[in-house]
Structure formats: structure tokens, C-alpha cells
Amino acid sequence: MGTKRWDPDDWSKYSATTSAKPAAAIFTSRNLHEDLDPKKITIRESRDSDLNPNSTPVIAACDVTGSMGMIADYFVKTGLGKFFEEVLDRKPVSDPHLMVMGVGDFTCDHAPLQVSQFEADIKIAEQLEKVYIEGGGGANDSESYDMAVYFAAYHTSIDCYEKHGRKGYLFTIGDEMPPDGTPKLLIEKFTADTVQATADFKDTITAAEKMYNYYHIIVAEGNYARRRLDSVKKAWTELLGQNAVVLEDYHSLSELMVSLIEINEGRDKDDVISSWSGTTAVVIASAVKDIKTTGATSATGVVLFD
């Protein structure tokens, strides 16, 4: 998917119809939509096309549990347009294809993972509207971020990696601890896979990182992170190192995703920070303060530039 091209006019028209609506009037699904059901999806594809000859897949896997439902509302009203327009203007990567995932809690939710197509135009907003904002989550200190990473690793096929040796980008976004792993029973319940054992989260991350630059964005305003931010950051940093970042204002989520891509692709961190204005620059500076610019690498680990 992703054969069309982002049109700012399409976004303006779409945004005009959604900006004043409450979230409940936009996200009308009252159960898992069949188009987003990972059990019915073999592969999601990001393919080059005439309009997007050098596609770059980007996955935004957003926690949609009770404490984090504001993220989906932000994306559908503001974030999608901001993300596409900034990437197309700044050009840290070419021809972005965006996939959105809804992440819940596989221990208690009916829809712990929901998966859109990769889209390069306004269709991504239509996909996002189908997400079931279950508002669940449990008392187990984590959500199913591992399911999103598992799907990216084993159920996506992307031309940027397969044809060009470049990695895409994977962002999980939430406020809770990382899980230890994905139990066999739950993999088989919520996907079409048959597996031999629990999928250790570290192994799943390693598999996904063959194709994707993976970042976890800790939303400090989430209910869980507000109470235990230091513990959450420590746990994610042990898994991902500098690729675990804290976002203090979710209204700057798209700008942070773009900034992380820019820095990873070799742009000077200070230049990236100063390219934003006002409070956005402050939020981005705080989020990326521990990130070192090392230059982009190919999927085979070859340094493209420093």
C-alpha cells in the first residue's frame, strides 16, 4: 500500500471536519474493526510506486488504553498532518508511508493490537478512525508494546529494506513499563501465528531492528508515568539505551518523531532543536538530550555518513 501522495489540501479539508468533534464522534468503532484485526492480516506492505519511488515506512504504535486515549485524538486532529508535512518539508527521509497501531493490554483487553495499512496520503486518517478506543488496560504495570514490535518484525514487508538496504522507523508510544515477553497462548489468540514458546521481548526487538530503527517514546503525562517516571525510563533504557526517550508534552509528539528521524539520519542535534520554536523547542531539547548523533547506518550496519 502507499501508492498515493500526501496532499496538504486533503488534510486541510479533513481537519476542518474533525477539529471541533469530540473523540467519541470520530472513533465510532465499538469493537475491533475487521480491517485492523491482526489475526486476519498476513503481511502489511510498504511498496515503492511511481509517486513514492523511495518509500520509507514509519510505524506509530500508540497506547490507546484509558490513560492514553488522548494520543489517538491528537493524531487524528493534528498529529498526522504535522508529521507528513514536516517530513516532506525537511526531507530527512524520502516518501514516507505511515502505519498506525492501536496498543492495548493482551491480558485483559478484547483488542490489544490493531494494525492499519501503510498509507502515504489522507487514507491514513480514515484508517485511524477505525481504531477501537477500548480504554482498557490492566493493573499489570505494562501494555502490549511487544505485540506491536512482534507484528513489525514478522508481519511487515518493506521495499526500503528488501530493495534498498535501508531501515524504516518504528515508534511505540505509551506511559507504562516494557513487558517481559509475549506468551505463546496470546500470540496464537491475537495473531494467525502458531509458535513454539513465549516470545522474549528482547529477541522480538532484535528481530524488528533488522528492518526498523526502533524508539520508544514515554509519555510523561500518562497516568502511570506521572507516578513512576524514573522507573519507567530506567526499564526502557535498559532495553533500548538512548532510543528510549521521554516526551513531556504529547502535543509535540509528531515533532519528536520527526526530530528523532532527522538526528538518526545524521542531522546535527542542536540544529534540529533550534529548528523548532517556542515551547516545542524546549520539549524536543529535553526529549533528545541523551541522544548522541552517530550518523545513519544501512540495514547491514554500514555507516552511510557521519
Q: Say if 253 falls within a structural domain.
A: no
Residue 267 in any domain: the answer is: no
pLDDT at 302: 47
- Domain holding 194: CATH number? 3.40.50
Average predicted confidence (pLDDT) for the chain: 91
Residue 103, beta-bridge partner list:
63, 113
- Nearest Cα to Cα of residue 35 among 129, 139, 158, 161: 129
Q: How confident is the model at residue 108 (pLDDT cuts 50, 70, 90)?
A: confident
In the prediction, which pLDDT does 133 show? 87
Phi/psi of residue 141, each to 5°? 70, 10
Span 87-111, average pLDDT: 92
Nearest Cα neighbor of 62 from 50, 74, 51 is 74
The 10s digit of each residue's pLDDT in 210-237 is 999 999 999 999 888 999 999 999 999 9
Number of domains in the chain: 1
Instruction: Judge whether 254 lies within some domain.
Output: no
On whether residue 270 sits in a domain, the answer given is no
Residue 87 confidence (pLDDT) above 50: yes
Assess if residue 92 is contained within a domain. Answer: yes
Asked whether the whole model's pTM tops 0.75, one would answer: yes
Percent residues over pLDDT 70 in the chain: 93
- pLDDT reported for residue 128: 95
Query: What is the mean predicted confidence (pLDDT) over 53-81?
Result: 91
Give a yes or no: residue 283 inside a domain.
no
The b-or-e profile of 165-197 (16+ CB within 10 A means b, else e) is ebbbbbbbbbbbbbbebbbeebbeebbebeeee
What integer pLDDT is reported at residue 134 of this predicted model? 77
pLDDT at 20 over 60: yes
- Please give the residue range of the domain that contains residue 141: 8-247
Assigned domain for 258 exists:
no
Residue 139 lies in a domain: yes
